[in-house]
A and B are shown apart, each in its own frame.
Chain A
Amino acid sequence: SQQGEEDPQALSIQEGENATMNCSYKTSINNLQWYRQNSGRGLVHLILIRSNEREKHSGRLRVTLDTSKKSSSLLITASRAADTASYFCATDANSNYQLIWGAGTKLIIKP
């Protein structure tokens, strides 16, 4: 089952600009994670935000969580060509093991 939905599906911006991606989900969560996937590679964990947190930072990444709207956003500031990748959100589910994944946002940074 697919809980998270990323928006937009694709985003193309100039290097140096900020990129914002959104994730919406349907049921209550304990935490939400963001991952990056470079073309043809596996996913890499970026950041986890818990349901009692509203904002979290890691380097050029800023994640917000609004549990009342069941949504999260990932902001990448001062984008670089190396940020070109697909970005996925994942939420915990009723089981202790399973994550539920969105379909991803494909981000292209133009030099």
Chain B
Amino acid sequence: DVKVTQSSRYLVKRTGEKVFLECVQDMDHENMFWYRQDPGLGLRLIYFSYDVKMKEKGDIPEGYSVSREKKERFSLILESASTNQTSMYLCASNPSQGQDQPQHFGDGTRLSIL
């Protein structure tokens, strides 16, 4: 089974801090994604990566950056955390180009910015 592991289930940080969310997948997937999930808004794509060192902006990239130095690891960085970034963050991966490959999700990180 594919396993996508997010480093923290719950995280509390302060306004202005630089925050790192880590995601690791163990199935050699090319594509990795970061979403945020807010009540009533569904999943919104922040960034995705289709290869090592490659990244594309999603729908809401402002205030975030990403890093993919190794194929299995995709990091989301909040450069200067703000309270409106309090949310559930979900990482996902899938194996190839094309939208007929299901995305595999981690269990999420619930991030609170105080």
Contact = CB atoms under 8 A, between A and B. Distances in A.
- Residue among A1, A41, A48, A99 with max Cβ neighbours from chain B (10 Å): A99
Interface in A89-104: 90, 92-93, 95-99, 101-104
Contacts of B48: 97-98
Contact of B99 (A41, A99, A102): A99
B108 A30 contact: no
Q: How large is the interface on B (under 10, 10 to 19, 20 to 34, 35 or more residues)?
A: 20 to 34
A58 B31 CA distance: 26
Contacts of B97: 96-97
Nearest to A103: B42
Contacts of A28: none
A13 B8 CA distance: 34
Contacts of A50: 100
Interface of B: 4, 31, 33, 40-45, 48, 50, 56, 58-59, 90, 92, 97-100, 102-108, 110
A45 interface: yes
A98 B100 contact: no
A108 B107 CA distance: 20
Interface in A23-39: 30-31, 33
